[in-house]
């Protein structure tokens, strides 16, 4: 049995804002019965201040699909179109106190219905999301959509992709293709980062130190801090960068590996391929 939160069960057993709005200003519809879930979202929007005055829904789906739709309507009521546009599936999941990872696609469906409705309201078509080549034929998921969930949710495995957009969850025949899309997304991401960093061919010493400092701040610290560690730049002598580790990284027997794997790799990528990194002694 799924590990559903009390709040999720409450929204499933007593869904808020169920129904239709006959004179809705915008309607968003996603999913279909073959997929096992579908959501139709109706919005009433005040023309003067674009405030969403009423939101209703109809859902065909499992308990978490119903609860996600209920949560979505609660989240957007009273918000302006601009504010509502910023709501993501993570907000829906968070509102319900979290969803099992296999059920994240239910919250994604909520976000997509909202996007479809708002796009209709603005008179533009929500087409860009639907374009691309169908990769998962079981659930009709395109490469564009897969690449988007990979980027937006920092996904690295086909299994995670299935949790977020169902792709690969049917016959499994497209798992290899999904992996290729994931690899491509992250390869491009790396290229993009590298491009941003490479043009500086002739750096003065001060520029170089600044760039090293900036790279440590933006590219290295967040990774280490996520694990409870930290890093400090001590000195730069030519192409040798001397750093000290703080927090859980300090005195960690694996810090030799950390330098090689993370710091040096990043500095070589963003500053200069000649950089070597040493840990400060004592």
Q: Which is nearer to another protein, 9 or 236 (CB)?
A: 9
Q: Are the C-beta atoms of residues 269 and 194 closer than 8 Å to each other? A: yes
Rounded to a whole number of angstroms, the minimum distance from the CB of residue 77 to another protein is: 18
- Where in 91-120 is the site for another protein (CB under 8 A)? 102-103
38 binds another protein (CB under 8 A): yes
**Of 18, 211, 236, 242, the one binding another protein by CB under 8 A:** 18
The CB-side HSE value for 206 (13 A sphere, CA atoms) comes to 0
Q: Which stretch binds another protein (CB under 8 A): 33-41, 195-203, 227-235, 253-261?
A: 33-41
164 binds another protein (CB under 8 A): no
Neighbour tally for 66: CB within 10 Å:
23
Q: Which stretch binds another protein (CB under 8 A): 54-62, 124-132, 149-157, 209-217?
A: 54-62
**Of 13, 134, 234, 248, the one binding another protein by CB under 8 A:** 13
> Which secondary-structure segment (H or E) carries 240?
strand 240-247
Q: What are phi and psi of 151, to 5 degrees?
A: -70, -45
Rounded to a whole number of angstroms, the minimum distance from the CB of residue 146 to another protein is: 15
Q: Which residues contact 144 (CB under 8 A, 6 or more apart)?
A: 128, 129, 131, 132
Q: Which residues contact 88 (CB under 8 A, 6 or more apart)?
A: 111, 152
**DSSP character for 216?**
I
Rounded to a whole number of angstroms, the minimum distance from the CB of residue 41 to another protein is: 10
34 binds another protein (CB under 8 A): yes
15 binds another protein (CB under 8 A): yes
Looking at the annotation, which residues are catalytic? Answer: 35, 106
């Amino acid at each position: 049995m799924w590990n559903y939160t009390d709040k999720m069960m409450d929204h499933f057993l007593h869904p808020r804002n169920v129904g239709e709005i006959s004179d809705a200003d915008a309607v968003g519809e996603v999913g279909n019965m073959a997929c096992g879930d579908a959501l139709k979202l109706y919005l009433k929007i005040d023309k003067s201040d674009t405030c969403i005055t009423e939101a209703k829904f109809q859902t065909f789906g499992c308990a978490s699909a119903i609860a996600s739709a209920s949560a979505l309507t609660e989240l957007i009521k009273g918000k302006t179109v601009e504010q509502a546009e910023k709501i993501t599936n993570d907000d829906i999941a968070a509102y319900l106190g979290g969803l099992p990872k296999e059920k994240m696609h239910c919250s994604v469906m909520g976000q997509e219905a909202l996007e479809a409705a708002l796009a209709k309201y603005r008179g533009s078509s929500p087409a860009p999301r639907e374009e691309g080549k169908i990769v998962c034929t079981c659930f009709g998921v395109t490469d564009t959509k897969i690449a988007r969930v990979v980027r937006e949710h920092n996904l690295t495995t086909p299994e995670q992709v299935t949790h977020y957009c169902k792709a690969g969850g049917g016959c499994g025949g497209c798992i290899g293709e999904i992996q290729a899309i994931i690899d491509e997304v992250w390869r491009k991401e790396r290229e993009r980062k590298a491009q941003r960093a490479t043009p500086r061919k002739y750096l003065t010493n001060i520029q170089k130190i600044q760039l090293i400092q900036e790279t440590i701040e933006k590219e290295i610290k967040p990774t280490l801090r996520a694990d409870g560690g930290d890093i400090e730049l001590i000195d730069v002598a030519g192409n040798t960068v001397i750093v000290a580790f703080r927090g859980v990284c300090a005195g960690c027997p694996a810090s030799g590996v950390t330098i090689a794997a993370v710091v040096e790799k990043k500095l070589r990528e963003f500053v200069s391929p000649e950089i070597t990194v040493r840990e400060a002694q004592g």
